Amino acid sequence: MGVLRVSLGCFIFFFLMFLSTCNTRKLDEARNAWHSGWWAMKFVLLLISLVIPFFIPSDYIQLYGELARVGAGIFLIFQLISVIEFITWWNNYWMSDDRKKSSYSIGLFMLTVFYISSVCGIVVMYVFYASKTSCSLNIFFISCTGVLLIEMMVISLHSKVNRGLLSSGIMASYIVFLCWTSMRSEPGSEKCSPQTQETGHIGWAAIVGFVVALCAIVIATFSTGIDSQLLIYTAFSIVV
């Protein structure tokens, strides 16, 4: 419940920031100064936003938790779009015809590592999470992940796309990781789970998942920063 209260506080803060800076198009507007400055005031506003949810009844917090599931799904979609844009930029950077031979070799090495890791991940999930024919749901999701891997590789090699394999290899590794984390989240009591018992300790998988999620958010932010450089400034106005 405490996590939901902190989450609600962050939502209040960023929603207020969205309302106060939405449709700001000129650099000399007061709202632009609020967007790029006033950090002390923003810090105070953030603290107030984090404190307010602790005075809200638990029933409303639980309702927010249910609504936040939908918002989290929408956020993941935008995050994936940003990650895809970053992967495309990375592919163009390493696999460009203008790059040196050494850099091109690094790109080839990286795509080989990503594809081998993806295939090994699929095999490992079949062995540990789909070893029985009764594990039909696990078999379905693992098979869908494998099919997506093949489809991305084929589409990347199509003559109309011709974007190389590095971008699809990185995305393949990411979706294999997502599939693995979902499989590993099964309770230890399930017949298809290799975990024999539940423990209250934080395992290495949770740490890896946190690091990967953090990297995904950083990459999404970095990708958005790259896109923001495409903005054109004309007569103190921002034109997209």
| Residue pLDDT, tens place only, 89-109 | 777 766 665 555 666 677 778
| pTM, to two decimals | 0.62
The mean pLDDT of 223-231, rounded to a whole number, is 51
Q: Is residue 209 part of a domain?
A: yes
Q: Is residue 52 part of a domain?
A: no
Of residues 146 and 76, the one with the higher pLDDT is 146
Q: Which domain holds residue 221?
A: 57-193+200-238
Q: Is residue 27 part of a domain?
A: no
Q: Is residue 1 part of a domain?
A: no
Of residues 35 and 236, the one with the higher pLDDT is 35
Q: Is residue 232 part of a domain?
A: yes
pLDDT for 240 beyond 50: no
Residues forming beta bridges with residue 238, ordered by sequence position: 233
Q: Is residue 149 part of a domain?
A: yes
The mean pLDDT of 21-32, rounded to a whole number, is 74
Q: Is residue 138 part of a domain?
A: yes
Q: Is residue 3 part of a domain?
A: no
Domain count, the chain: 1
Highest-scoring range by mean pLDDT, 13-17, 20-24, 94-98, 183-187: 13-17
For residue range 138-184, what is the model confidence (pLDDT) as tens digits?
888 889 998 988 888 888 777 676 666 777 888 888 888 888 888 87
